[in-house]
Amino acid sequence: MFIETRFYDSGKSVARLHKCENEPEIKVSNDYDGYVDEIESLEDWIEENLSIETDDIIGVVLTLDRGKWADITDMC
């Protein structure tokens, strides 16, 4: 699995989970800094990289698990 993160100049940050075996190709843009990291588990990535309230974890996990972009701006 891979997690793609984008950090915009405006301060917005988003993440998306890719459930694949090979590193996904990401869109490059001057509008953001984009990164792809291989992860072993979504839970470990959240614990290591986000400051998240317990009440917010479920929504973020469900969004990422569906392969959708999750807004992580307030958690970075």
pLDDT tens profile 53-64: 777 788 889 999
Positive or negative: CA dihedral 17, 18, 24, 25: negative
pLDDT, position 27:
87
pLDDT tens profile 2-45: 999 999 999 999 999 999 888 888 888 999 999 999 999 998 99
Structural domains in the chain (count):
1
Q: Which domain holds residue 67?
A: 2-75
Say which residues have a Cβ less than 8 Å from residue 14's Cβ, sequence separation at least 6: 5, 6, 69, 70, 71, 72, 73
pLDDT, position 57:
84
What letters, b where the CB count within 10 A reaches 16 and e where it falls short, cover 46-73?
beebbebeeeeeeebbebbeeeeebebe
pTM to 2 decimals?
0.85
